[in-house]
Structure 1
Amino acid sequence: MENKILIKLLGVPCVGCTSICTRYTMDIFVENYYQCICEDYYYKTVTIKDKKYELDIYDSRGTLICYDFTELMIKHSNIIVLVYSIDSKTSFNEMCTILNLVHKTLEVDTLRTVPAVICGNKNDLENKREVSYIEGQKLAEKEGCLFYEILALKNTNLTEMFEKAVSCYVNTKSNETEQKYEICK
């Protein structure tokens, strides 16, 4: 398919990257799965502005063991989704470390010119929240990228998040301006 979009999900173990992928692409939620050190791939076809796009979604499965491959995937991705769990300040801090890897790999200071989403998962755990909505939102504003809080378990905001990111990418490609992704913000 000529309209292929590569999406890379990055996050530490147990933030829900795999659950996000399986829920969005297959509408299933796997409660227990084996953590492995390899990446996984998911596919979904979506229609944006009457055009079909094949989304190739790469799940880091919570591991960044193979940095060379991760850097290569970051460089070749059309959209990057950085995932943390709202009930884990550690996962947010680690996501910021991954964000620094993205900056270094793409040779950028912020994500303003890169189609990207900062994504807080598990927003049903409000009583265990360690990362405020405002904290995630402020980081996204600083980076110039989209921000969503989602719940893979119930499919809350997943479709909206992916469709907005894809729409922004499509608009960017069709406009071919230097402003790039900023037109979506």
Structure 2
Amino acid sequence: MFEMNTGLQWIISIGLIAYVGYSLFKTGKEFREYRKNSKEYLAKHKDAKEEHYGIWQCTLLVIMTIACLGMALFAQLFSVDESQLLLYRVAYLCIGILFVGLTMEMWIHRSIIFTEDGFFIGTRAYRYRMITTLEKSKGIIKTIRVLFQNGDVIQVSLKIGELIRVRYNEFKAIKKEKKEKRRRR
């Protein structure tokens, strides 16, 4: 069987942990920004309604994180070769760290706050009046691309996209009704 010396194992391990740690740091930074901005948005908009659509996925990712961290602790039970034990532990640890990052990303992109004139998703707020079109993507995983007048494009899940479409159509109907009332005066 392939034997790897201990020095090379340590180099690979440090490289993997550094890469995964950096990835988690970036995701954590985005998650903190999401938390801060969403709290500000909720404080400014008293009519806001917050909805989460990835709770079961986040729960599954947390379970997988715990399983990977447990496997990292008990890697000696899964490894036949003691010389490969370090790599097994690092691999399970890195996968667990990736699951933590995926959980945060899932929470960020599957949570939306609706108000009368717009919505907050990710780390930004968007106004309905800025939407130019909503396009359904083709392919295995169905998503909706929301295009805005200023050139911004966001891609959301099909469920969230359909909710945005419904709210956007309601916004347009109310706007049209107000315009008709003003014209009759």
Class of the TM-score when normalised by the shorter of the 2 chains: under 0.3
Structure scoring higher RCO (CA < 8 A, sep ≥ 6) equals: 1
TM-score (norm 2): 0.23
TM-score by length of 1: 0.23
